[in-house]
C-alpha cells in the first residue's frame, strides 16, 4: 500500500490508529478518580505529543540515518515559530500560510547552517550547529527585540496584537483557524465517568504527523536513505568510491530542518506565541534525548521518546503534596506520611529527578531505546517470534554501529 512493503504498512496503520484514537487511549481513567492525574488526553498535551513527535522524526532522519549529531536543531523550531507568528501578524490567523512559510524559512536557514556545519564531522559538526543555535537564541532574546527593529519581542515572546495589520483577515476569527475551523474547537464526549476531548488542532497535527511519518518511512526505505546509512557506517570508504557524500548529508540536514520548522509552525498554530527559549540549547538537547531515548534510527522510536519526555514534563510536574495526600488518604496516618516522604522528592518540583533517573535506566537497560523495550516485551509474549524481528528490530540492531 502507498508504495510500502507489508511490514511498513502495518506500522503506518498502527501509528494511524494510535494517533486517531489518542483521545481515548490517553484518557484511561475516569475524570473523578484519583488516577485521573495520569490522564494525558487533553488537547494541549496531545498536540505537544504529536508536534514534538514530528520534530523528533525529522531529527531522526539526520541523526538516525547519517549519524550526524546536530546540537542546534531547536533553532529551526524557533525560526519556524517566529515565521508562523509573523504570518499571523501580517496576513490572518489562517494556519496554512503560516505553516507553509515556517517550513520554507526553516528550510532556507538549514541550507545555510547545514552548508557551513557539514564541512566538519563528528563532534566538530555538533559544536558548529550548537554555536549557530545559541547565537540565534541570544540574539532573539535580546538584540532582535529592540524597539527600533522588533523581530522577536524578546523575553515576552512574539505574539499577535490587535494593532497588527493582518491584511487578509477580513471577518475571519480572532484565533488560529484553518479556513474558519478554529484550532481550539473541542468536542467533549462524556461516557459514564470518562470524558474524551476531540480537538481540531490535535487532529490537524495528527494528520500532519501521519504524513511526516509516511515520508520518513519512504526516506528510510529509499536509495537515498541507503546512501545516508552508508555515510553513517563509513563515510571515508564512500568517498573513496568516488561518491560525494556532501549533497546527501546536506539534503538530509535540510529535510530535518524543514521538519523542525514544520513542528515550530504547528506549535505557533496551536498557540500563537513564539518564545526565544524554543531555540535554547536545552531545547536542542531535548530533541536529541527524545530520539536516543526512543531509539535512534528506528522509525517509531523518536515519537515514543517525544511522548515520554513531554508526559513527564506535563504530568509529573503537577503532582503536588496535596495530590499525594488524596492518593494515600486511605492508609493509616503514619503510613501515609511515610509514603509521601518517599514519593515527594520524585514528583512535583522533583520531576526532573525522575526524568534523569529514567534517562539513565533506559540507556543502561535498553541500549536500543524504548523501542527495544517494546521488543523485549513483545518477545516475552511470543517466544518463537524472537528469530524474526520486524523492521524495527533490524533498525534497532543497526543502531549500535557508530
Partner 1 sequence: MDAILLQILNGLDKGSAYALIALGLTLIFGTLGVVNFAHGALFMLGAFCAVTISKLFNLSHKASEPSGVDFLGNPKYEDVLYVEDWFGERLGGWMLDWSVPLSILFAIPIMIGIGYVMERGLIKHFYKRPHADQILVTFGLAIVLQEVIKYFYGANPIPTPAPEMFRGSFDFGAALGFDANTIIYPYWRMVYFVFSLVIIGGVFAFLRFTTFGMVVRAGMADRETVGLLGIDIDRRFTIMFGIAAAVAGLAGVMYTPINSPNYHMGMDFLVLSFVVVVVGGMGSLPGAVLAGFLLGVLESFASMNQIKSLLPGIDQIIIYLVAIAILLTRPRGLMGRKGVMEE
Partner 2 sequence: MTKSKLTRRGLIRTGAVTAGGLAMPTIFTSQVWGQTDTGFTNAPTGDTVTLGFNVPQSGPYADEGADELRAFELAVEHLNGEGDGGMLSTFSSKTLEGNGILGKKVAYVSGDTQTKSDAARASAKSMIEKDGAIMISGGSSSGVAVAVQGLCQEAGIIFMSGLTHSNDTTGKDRKANGFRHFFNAYMSAAALAPVLSQLYGNDRKVYSLTADYTWGWTQQESIQAATEELGWETITDVRTPLAATDFSSYMTPVLNSGADVLILNHYGGNMVNSLTNAVQFGLRDKQVNGKNFEIVVPLYSELMAKGAGKNITGIVGSQNWDWKLENEKGDRYAGTNAFVQSFGTKYGFPPSQAAQTCYAQTLLYADAVNRAKSFNPCAVVEALEDFEFDGLGNGPTLYRAADHQCFKDVVVVRGKENPENEFDLVEIVEVTPAEQVTYDPEHPMFAGGDLGECNPGA
User: DSSP of 181-205, one letter per residue?
Assistant: EETT-EEEEEETTEEEEEEHHHHHH
- Residue 190 CB: number of other CB atoms within 10 A? 9
Cα 259 from Cα 77, distance rounded (Å): 8
Q: Report the Cα 137 to chain-centroid distance in Å.
A: 19
Cα 269 from Cα 98, distance rounded (Å): 8
Site membership for partner 1, residue 111 (CB under 8 A):
no
Nearest 5°: the CA angle 222, 227, 233 is 125
User: What sign does the dihedral 269-273-140-94 (CA atoms) show?
Assistant: positive
Residue whose CB is less far from partner 1, 23 or 294: 294
Stretch that binds partner 1, among 4-12, 85-93, 168-176, 288-296 (CB under 8 A): 288-296
Site string for partner 1, 359-388 (x = CB under 8 A): xx-xxx--x---------------------
Stretch that binds partner 2, among 52-60, 266-274, 294-302, 328-336 (CB under 8 A): 266-274
Residue whose CB is less far from partner 2, 255 or 396: 255
Residue whose CB is less far from partner 2, 18 or 185: 185
User: What sign does the dihedral 294-281-86-153 (CA atoms) show?
Assistant: positive
Nearest 5°: the CA angle 72, 361, 43 is 60
Residues 147-176 that bind partner 2 (CB under 8 A): 153-157, 159, 161-163, 175
**Could you tell me if 65 and 251 are in contact, meaning their C-beta atoms sit under 8 angstroms apart?**
no
Return residues touching partner 2 (CB under 8 A): 2-3, 39, 42-45, 48, 138, 141-143, 145, 153-157, 159, 161-163, 175, 178-179, 181-182, 184-187, 197-198, 200, 203-204, 207-208, 210-211, 214-215, 218-219, 222-225, 227, 248, 251, 267, 271, 273, 275, 277-278, 313-314, 317-318, 320, 322, 348-349, 351-352
Return residues touching partner 1 (CB under 8 A): 63, 67, 69, 116, 119-124, 127-128, 130-132, 134-135, 138-139, 142-143, 146, 281-282, 285, 288-289, 292-293, 296, 345, 350, 352-353, 355-360, 362-364, 367, 399-400, 402
Amino acid at each position: 500500500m502507498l508504495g510500502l512493503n507489508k511490514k511498513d504498512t502495518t506500522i503506518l496503520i498502527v501509528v494511524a490508529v494510535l494517533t486517531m484514537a489518542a483521545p481515548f487511549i490517553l484518557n484511561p481513567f475516569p475524570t473523578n478518580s484519583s488516577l485521573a492525574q495520569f490522564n494525558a488526553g487533553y488537547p494541549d498535551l496531545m498536540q505537544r505529543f504529536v508536534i514534538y513527535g514530528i520534530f523528533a522524526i525529522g531529527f531522526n532522519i539526520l541523526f538516525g540515518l547519517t549519524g550526524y549529531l546536530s546540537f542546534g536543531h531547536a533553532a529551526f523550531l524557533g525560526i519556524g515559530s517566529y515565521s508562523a507568528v509573523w504570518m499571523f501578524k501580517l496576513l490572518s490567523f489562517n494556519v496554512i500560510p503560516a505553516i507553509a512559510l515556517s517550513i520554507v524559512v526553516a528550510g532556507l536557514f538549514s541550507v545555510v547552517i547545514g552548508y557551513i556545519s557539514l564541512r566538519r564531522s563528528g563532534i566538530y559538526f555538533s559544536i558548529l550547529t550548537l554555536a549557530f543555535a545559541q547565537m540565534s537564541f541570544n540574539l532573539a532574546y535580546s538584540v532582535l527585540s529592540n524597539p527600533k527593529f522588533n523581530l522577536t519581542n524578546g523575553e515576552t515572546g512574539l505574539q499577535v496584537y490587535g494593532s497588527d495589520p493582518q491584511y487578509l483577515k477580513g471577518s475571519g476569527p480572532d484565533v488560529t483557524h484553518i479556513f474558519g475551523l478554529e484550532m481550539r474547537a473541542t468536542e467533549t464526549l462524556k461516557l459514564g465517568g470518562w470524558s474524551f476531548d476531540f480537538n481540531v488542532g490535535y487532529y490537524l497535527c495528527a494528520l500532519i504527523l501521519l504524513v511526516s511519518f509516511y515520508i520518513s518511512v519512504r526516506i528510510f526505505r529509499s536509495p537515498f536513505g541507503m546512501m545516508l546509512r552508508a555515510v553513517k557506517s563509513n563515510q571515508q570508504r564512500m568517498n573513496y568510491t568516488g561518491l560525494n557524500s556532501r549533497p546527501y548529508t546536506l539534503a538530509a540536514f535540510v529535510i530535518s530542518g524543514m521538519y523542525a520548522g514544520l513542528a515550530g509552525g504547528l506549535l505557533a498554530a496551536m498557540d500563537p506565541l513564539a518564545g526565544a527559549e524554543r531555540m535554547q540549547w536545552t531545547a536542542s538537547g531535548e530533541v536529541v534525548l527524545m530520539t536516543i531515548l526512543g531509539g535512534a534510527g528506528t522509525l517509531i522510536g523518536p515519537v515514543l521518546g517525544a511522548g515520554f519526555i513531554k508526559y513527564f514534563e506535563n504530568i509529573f510536574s503537577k503532582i503536588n503534596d496535596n495530590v499525594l495526600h488524596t492518593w494515600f488518604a486511605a492508609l493509616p496516618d503514619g503510613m501515609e506520611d511515610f509514603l509521601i516522604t518517599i514519593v515527594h522528592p520524585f514528583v512535583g518540583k522533583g520531576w526532573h529527578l525522575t526524568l534523569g533517573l529514567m534517562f539513565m535506566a533506559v540507556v543502561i537497560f535498553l541500549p536500543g531505546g524504548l523501542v527495544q523495550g517494546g521488543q523485549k516485551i513483545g518477545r516475552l509474549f511470543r517466544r518463537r517470534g524472537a528469530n524474526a524481528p520486524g523492521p524495527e528490530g533490524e533498525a534497532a540492531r543497526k543502531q549500535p554501529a557508530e
